[in-house]
Amino acid sequence: MKLTALLMVKDEEDRLVGALRSVAFASETVVVDTGSSDGTRELARERGARVEQVSWQGYAETRNAALSLAANDWVLFLDADERVSPELAAEIERILHSGAAESGFLLPRLSYLNGRPVRHGVWVPDYKLRLARRSAGFRCEGGRVHEVLTVEGAVGRLSHPLVHHPYRNVSDVVRKAAIYARLAALDRYERGERAGFGRLMVRPALEFLKCYLLRLGFLDGTVGVEVAALHSFSYFLRAAYLLELDLERKGRGAPVEAKGGLPA
């Protein structure tokens, strides 16, 4: 069966080559660009990918628009910060050649932080539905952030890792944490959630302990501390944004966006 490798990107010139190399086994590679200002599109064409441009409509809507551009039924969805390991590539090829009956497959994602693998804590396990059939309703659902890919029918699990390098540097960590926390706060605010002292101070501390102690993050050494701190920080930011939204509603803060999201 033929496979389309699909990547949705924006300003990923520095990371795109590795992602494209890792899906060289696919019959078709489509890079869906949401408004890059660097050389992302040109680089993708040089590497043999078909490049399509899609306007940003939010994470879920834009992913669905990207899915509609695939020529093949089987689609492997990949981000520019992810790499299909050689073992995973071979596993996918075996499945497709055997005529899999499943509608889709969960891939075990292994994340790295500062070049070190994260094997414990709240980032593990991290199974993502990334390989599925469009004819089985492969689609994206969700709010402004933390969207979920879903499919109708049986879903299997693969055993080899999808390698994930989510952050370029500390600045990238802070930037992404702020974006995701703000979008998550907007979703929660519209559902009626509010933040007080507990959400702002107590919950982040509990989340640190959960990640570092209960989920055995300490076994990863220094990187375990970093992941727990980042996890805790994201909860603090989300609570802070909820408070800001409440102040804005009461006319005591700067106006904030009510709809949509920011591109990745």
Residues ≥6 apart with Cβ < 8 Å to 116: 220, 222, 223
- Domain 3-164 = CATH 3.90.550.10: yes
Residue with tokens 């492997």: 76
Mean pLDDT per 10-residue section of the chain, whose length is 264 residues = 96 97 98 97 97 94 97 97 98 94 97 96 97 98 89 98 96 93 92 88 96 98 97 96 88 51 48
Domain parsing of the chain, residue ranges: 3-164, 170-249
**What local confidence, expressed as pLDDT, does residue 145 receive?**
82
